[in-house]
Each structure stands twice: as C-alpha cells, then as structure tokens.
Amino acid sequence: MGTIRPQVRCVYDGCCEFDPQSHNHIHCTEHKCKRRAENAKKRLGKEVTIHDPETWELQDKRKYALADKVRARNEWILQNRSFAFFDIETTNLEASIGMILCACVKDMGGDTFTAVSSIPDGGYMDDHETVLQLRDWLESYDYVCT
C-alpha cells in the first residue's frame, strides 16, 4: 500500500494541480511543463542587436591594433632571427634502411650549402659525414623550413 501524497501545483508556471508520482515530481505531465522548463533553460535570451557606429569603430580599432602587433612581431623576428630552408634527397629513408644522397641548406638571403654522400674506396656509400654536416648547419639557425 503506497503513501498518499497531496496534490502539488506545477512549479514551471503553476498551470495546474496534479498527483505527484514520486517525491521529486514537480512538473505536470499533462502540459509537458518539464520539457518546456528544460527548453527555457537552454534558450538564450532575446538577441540584442546593436547598431552603434561607436561600437563598430572600437571593434575595428581593436582588430587593426592586433594586426599591427602581429606584423611588428613578425618584422622583429625576420630582422633578429636566422632562417634556413633545407632539402634532402634520399634512398628509401625508413627505419635505418635508406641513405641520404645529398643535402642542401639555403640561408635566407645568403649562401647555399650542399653536402653529397661519398663512396669511399671500400665501395659502400657512406652518408655519415653528410648527416653530421647537415646537423651542424641546421643547429646554427633559429628557424628551419622544410
């Protein structure tokens, strides 16, 4: 035998009184007030459209100030940092199988360095010196582009 619960008024908009099915039944099922309450929570407020030239002017000034700041930073980086572009030609360079045939490093606005793997008298290609030269060249730059 269940307990007798008194009728309660719908919490959402007080549209009716109903017999609650559980202790936390606060919205009426007849008018689907629970769904309406959840949708009201999710709904954003009324959209406010501002047609204010002063606000638009401030937004534009902020946008241009940020763009100027980024441009100034990029100019500083270009003037105070060193850049290099490099490319390597290899034979099947996978998991210690391939070899570096040659490597080329170009200084931005400067010289080009090229290293070529050699075949010593023993007849086997050796890229050890090429790899060491490439490492030394690349470590001397702040930014490297591939």
56 has a pLDDT exceeding 80: yes
Q: What local confidence, expressed as pLDDT, does residue 72 receive?
A: 97
Selection from 48-52, 67-71, 84-88 with the highest mean pLDDT: 67-71
CA distance 99 to 131: 10
Cα separation, 19 vs 6, whole angstroms: 7
Supply the pLDDT for residue 47.
66
User: Model's pTM, two decimal places?
Assistant: 0.50
CB 59 within 8 A of CB 44: no
Is pLDDT at 29 greater than 90 in this prediction? no
- Taking only Cα atoms into account, the Rg of the chain, rounded to an integer number of angstroms, comes to 36
Task: Kindly tell me the burial class for residue 31, based on how many C-beta atoms sit within 10 Å of its own C-beta (0-12, 13-18, 19 or more).
Answer: middle
Identify the CA nearest to 103 among candidates 67, 72, 129, 139.
129
Residue 99: what pLDDT? 84
| pLDDT of 41 | 84
What pLDDT shows up at residue 6? 86
Q: Does residue 134 carry a pLDDT above 60?
A: yes
pLDDT at 27 over 70: yes
Contact indicator for 100, 90 with CB cutoff of 8 Å: yes
Kindly state the average pLDDT of the residues 29-45: 86
- Residues 15 and 31: their CA atoms lie apart, in Å, by 8
Per the listing, tokens 């700041």 go with 69
Mean pLDDT of 117-146: 85
Q: Which residue's structure tokens are 């902020």?
A: 62
Question: Given pLDDT bands bounded at 50, 70 and 90, which one contains residue 64?
Answer: very high
